[in-house]
Amino acid sequence: MNQEDTGVSRRKIISYGWIAATVVIVGEMIGGTLAYLWPKVRGEKSAKLLIAGKVDDFQVEKMAIFRKEKVFINRMDDGLLAMSAICTHLRCIVRWNEQKKVFECPCHGAEFNAFGEVLAGPPPRPLDIHPVETVGGKIVVDTSKVIRRKKFDRVQLVRV
């Protein structure tokens, strides 16, 4: 079979190949440029869940401390509160003083009570809290969400 039989010359095949390669390269350049220029869509911050343990494992009026997650859980008769350990002044990490029953900030001497309310020092508001729910009898805290508050109110307690 020669080129007269097929009607397609070698030169045409090569030129089609060049056209195809050029289309691919130009397409990559345009696609890459658009991908670079297109604003990134930011989704909602993904949840960071702390599965704190079974509800029954939390003693009433005993502060549970989760150092790695920087969370304190205070269980009371009528519910519980999951508080951030990050000081609302300049973000130092507070620690729980079991004898005095207060949170103490090592940076500027602030103190917060067991509900996170400011007792002393410069913080402008109570410790922030995290949403809590019980799933299958376990306490689950979403540490990716922070709730600021002006004061403690018992409606902030999560019934368990």
Binding-site ranges for ligand FES (CB under 6 A): 87, 89-90, 92, 105, 107-108, 110, 121-123
Closer to ligand FES by Cβ: residue 93 or 160 = 93
SS3 103: strand
Q: Which two tokens stand for residue 14?
A: 């090569």
Closer to ligand FES by Cβ: residue 131 or 149 = 149
CB of 89 to ligand FES, least distance (A): 3
Rounded to an integer, what distance in angstroms lies between the CA atom of residue 149 and that of residue 126? 7
Q: Which two tokens stand for residue 120?
A: 């002393």
CB of 65 to ligand FES, least distance (A): 17
CB of 136 to ligand FES, least distance (A): 36
Residue identified by tokens 């509800």 is 55
CB of 26 to ligand FES, least distance (A): 56
Closer to ligand FES by Cβ: residue 49 or 102 = 102
Residue identified by tokens 């869940």 is 49
Rounded to an integer, what distance in angstroms lies between the CA atom of residue 158 and that of residue 100? 25
Q: Which two tokens stand for residue 82?
A: 């999951």
